Chains A and B, each alone.
Chain A
Amino acid sequence: MTTTQPVTEPPRSLGQAARERLGTAFGPWFLPTLAAVIIFGLMVALRPLVASPTGLNLVLAPLIPLIFAVLAQMFIIAAGDIDLGIGSFIGLANVVIAVIIPDSPVAGILFLIGMVVAYAAMGVLIAVRGLPSIVVTLGMSFVWLGVAILILPTPGGVVPEGIVSFVRFNPQVVPGVIIVLTVVTVAVALFLSRSKYGAVLRGSGSNAEGVRRAGWSVIRAKVSLYVLAAVFGLLSGLYLSGQTGGGDPYIAQSYVLLSIAGVIVGGGSFKGGEVSAVGAVAGALVVGLLGSLLQFIGVQSSFQAAAQGLVLVLVLVLRALVNWIQKVRRTL
């Protein structure tokens, strides 16, 4: 009843091949990276000293904790979830490092490990019971904050000298921030985009059932993502502690929404599985540098938040536009 015809691959025009290459080159990370470069370029144009090693350190160092927070959030968003507790979690890590570790390093490290285990348990709870992550993480955020306040009711404490000098490590040749930024970005990007388990993790966020049917443990994948998020949350807390030198339970409250904004600006999507490490770091830079740039331009501080928000919306609109253009080009 049916005819089988040998069908060969359709001939491709040169233009088509070029379009395809363009399509893959414009990964989700492209636009946020471009935006970060433009913002940084504008800052250098306004204040050339920004490009000096000292200037780079001054501008970028405060962003390192935010970058870690955005990467933590990225793992949770990769799982198709949202973490509303990351700010309080980082605050607790900061307090533990500033108060418990100076007295008893062993107890402090055990405490931090316990926090990672708690995140893993949260992942199990969300994966097995199907609870909405937004509720679980919001609830846990009060726990983190409450414990932090119990340990340290008012800002104080002293971060051990070793941690401070580790965080402020700044060799003469290359600024320390650049080293940290590069190492972290490359490591996370390689793991997430180029390793097989990274693909499984991203896949589990977009179609958990499909990944399970292919013979992988979805619960293990979820726990892995939550553990990674916790580890990056701790790193964020470590850098915050080293930079401020003291403890404050409320220190990272603004990171909750900033980290979500960073991931989304960085090409991530709430659908799950759609994340890019390079994009997330670039998104964090965009979110973080915008404030400095607006200050440089002389935007009044009362307008800064609004201006910042508008630029973020602009980036998202551009991204939608790029997606649309890509779709139209492929359709032709």
Chain B
Amino acid sequence: MSDQSPDTLVVQGVSKRFGSTLAVNDASFTVRRGELIGIAGHNGAGKSTILKVVNGTIAGDSGTVTVNGIARSADTTVAHPEKLGVRTVYQELSLCASLRVDETAAIFDHSARGLSWRSTAWHNLRTVLDEMFPGHGIRKDAKISELSIARRQMIECASTMIDSTVRPALVILDEPTSSLDAASTASFYAYLKKRAAEGVSVIITTHRLHEMIDNLSRIYVMRDGQVLSEQRAEGATKESIVTAMGLAAHESSRVAPIADSSTVTTTDARPTTASEVIVRLEQPGDDGASEVFEIRKGEIIGFAGLEGHGQLLALEAVYRASARRSGAVRAPRRTAHHAVSVTGDSAYVSGDRGVRGIFPLWDVATNISFSSLGKLTAGGLVKPKAEAALVHEWYSRLGIKGQSTDPITSLSGGTQQKALMARAMAVGSDLLLLEDPTRGVDQATKSEVYELLRGQAAEGQTIVWYSTENEELRNCDRVFVFRVGKIVATITGADATEDAVIALSFGGQDVAPIDLEGAVR
């Protein structure tokens, strides 16, 4: 079936209009057999839309899509793209929380039939998983609802590569690595390259531009629905892509000196201010004595390390240890590795906005003001004017476009995330806890978020920030690097380069990831 054409996918002149906005404007591109290509562009550039037209989920208005030499008009939808060998991982995950891992595998794997359908499907999935994510630690009888986002993402990615009744020919991955740590990401791309050599073509969108440059062969840049330019990955730089995306000079204003791992000056960075201690983490040291890590008022602290090494657990412990009122103290909270005590109250922002963040049925205004309603009431009733003022203030501070009465789901993913940040910040708590807040958010929005966080810190809010993107840790004052549940190093934000953080998280002998977060949700 795969010999007749050197191109797996040819997209010609596809346009798609949603109401008054032209989401995709006369887009054309080609993916050759066995090629890994990327589509770059900020949120709302039309990446997801064009990919949905390609796999036939939504109908375009004009143009043609040719898959494996079979052309179809773009204004038709395809009920079963998997029968054409087209597989897709969407940005919002699509696993069934109530099923076991092997049952999930079987739902994707139409070749798993008969009495042993579960073991067949698990065998097929596991073959891919073991190679794509060595040491993934996923058991076949675990329920999806018990797995971390990263593990669910691994299952979705792996399920696109199984040889079902129809072998994969074109695999579309929309932000596949957004929750994966650096090591998993590397093995993931190594696997993709291997499969590409066997003739599988892959389209990837990601906001991690360096991943595209390092691993793909070509990158198409989209802006305002148009495919603007095509760059060969060898010659491309982050700057060249960002420029093409039309986001010039949106980069972080705080340029850290480029350091490689050998130039980390100290792995025991002291607090940057002498202000009061807000968070105190205590862990047993190697020599039996306890080590104490203090986070002071107005600091931005990053929690880094490989996925699943205790950062999230520590962040949740900080949240649970924090008091209800500003300035108050509660009894310390113990985890398997730390004793955590916190002075003051806290607010928590999760990167998993669909599940843990937004109220999808409400408008933007209520989503923002919800956490602050307590201080906006008189006699138990909400004061509409005060609420409107609060919403207005955060609208302008965050630069959210549109009406505050729009439903929150009408906003793009990145903007929803900004609204969530606004909700947490509007409370004015002593401590702001962020769980990978920029997951799947474009570069421009990220820069705005960093700016905002620095502003909050300057006003005296303490920020603890868990991130899977080592690059953004440079915006922190200090970074705590976790390994096997414990803090193994504290470095300054300026030292926190990708290489330095990876070197520290891999340091020592023990590189086996342990399942700390996997069970939490």
Contact = CB atoms under 8 A, between A and B. Distances in A.
Question: A and B bound?
Answer: yes
Interface of A: 1-11, 20, 24, 196, 199-200, 202-207, 209-211, 213-216, 271-274, 327, 330-332
A211 to B, nearest CB: 6
Nearest to A10: B512
Given A8-B135, A10-B513, A215-B80, A2 B98 contact: no
Interface stretch (B13-21, B99-107, B455-463, B475-483): B99-107
Contacts of A273: 96-99
A330 B519 contact: yes
Given A2-B186, A4-B186, 12 more contacts: A4-B190, A6-B134, A7-B134, A10-B513, A20-B139, A196-B106, A196-B117, A200-B107, A206-B99, A207-B95, A207-B96, A216-B107
Contacts of A204: 96
B276 interface: no
B273 interface: no
Given A20-B139, A216-B107, A331-B519, A207 B97 contact: yes
Given A5-B506, A24-B141, A206 B512 contact: no
Contacts of A327: 519-520
B512 A214 contact: no
A209 B52 CA distance: 14
Question: Which of B110, B137, B519 has the most C-beta atoms of chain A within 10 angstroms of its own C-beta?
Answer: B519
A207 B103 contact: no
B248 interface: no
Contacts of B516: 331
B94 A210 contact: yes
A209 B137 contact: no
Return the 7 tightest CB-CB contacts between A and B, nearest first. A7-B135, A273-B98, A210-B94, A330-B519, A203-B96, A206-B98, A2-B186
B355 to A, nearest CB: 12
A10 B107 contact: no
B336 interface: yes
A21 to B, nearest CB: 10
A93 B506 CA distance: 67
A7 B94 contact: no
A238 to B, nearest CB: 31
Interface in B79-126: 80, 82-83, 88, 90, 93-99, 103-104, 106-108, 110, 112-113, 117
Contacts of B292: none
Nearest to A331: B519
B95 A210 contact: yes
B187 interface: yes
Nearest to A20: B139
Contact of A215 (B103, B110, B190, B313): B110
Interface in B425-442: none
Contact of B107 (A7, A214, A271): A214
B107 A211 contact: yes
Nearest to A272: B98
A327 B519 CA distance: 7
Nearest to B82: A215
19 contacts: A1-B210, A3-B502, A3-B506, A9-B135, A20-B139, A196-B106, A199-B99, A202-B96, A203-B98, A203-B104, A204-B96, A209-B94, A210-B96, A211-B107, A213-B88, A213-B90, A273-B96, A273-B97, A331-B336
Contacts of B104: 203
B511 interface: yes
A66 B515 CA distance: 43
Contacts of A272: 98
Contacts of B98: 202-203, 205-206, 271-274
Interface in B6-64: none
Contacts of A3: 182-183, 186, 502, 506
A209 B88 CA distance: 13
Contacts of A211: 96, 107
A10 B96 contact: no
Given A200-B107, A207-B94, A7 B511 contact: yes
Given A2-B502, A214-B108, A10 B90 contact: no
B500 to A, nearest CB: 12
B349 to A, nearest CB: 22
B146 interface: yes
Given A203-B96, A203-B99, A9 B137 contact: yes
Nearest to B102: A199
Nearest to A5: B511
B214 interface: yes
A4 B519 contact: no
Contacts of B95: 207, 210
A1 B110 CA distance: 38
A202 B99 contact: yes
B499 interface: yes
B313 to A, nearest CB: 8
B513 A5 contact: no
B106 A199 contact: yes
A205 B506 CA distance: 41
A10 B514 contact: yes
Contacts of A205: 98
A71 B233 CA distance: 58
Interface in B123-168: 134-135, 137, 139, 141, 146
B182 A2 contact: yes
A46 B106 CA distance: 48
A213 B82 CA distance: 9
A8 B511 CA distance: 9
Nearest to B521: A327
Contacts of B372: none
Contacts of B146: 330
Contacts of B313: 331
Contacts of A330: 146, 519
Given A7-B134, A9-B135, A24-B141, A1 B94 contact: no
Contacts of A203: 96, 98-99, 103-104, 107
A10 B515 contact: yes
Contacts of A214: 82, 94, 107-108
A283 B297 CA distance: 53
A331 B320 CA distance: 15
Contacts of A199: 99, 103, 106-107
A10 B137 contact: yes
B23 to A, nearest CB: 20
Contact of B512 (A8, A196, A202, A332): A8
Contacts of B103: 199, 202-203
B66 interface: no
Nearest to B135: A7
Contacts of A8: 134-135, 512
B498 interface: yes
A136 B84 CA distance: 38
B237 interface: no
Contacts of B90: 213
A94 B182 CA distance: 64
B267 interface: no
Contact of A196 (B80, B113, B186): B113
B96 A1 contact: no
Nearest to B164: A215
B447 interface: no
A199 B514 CA distance: 30
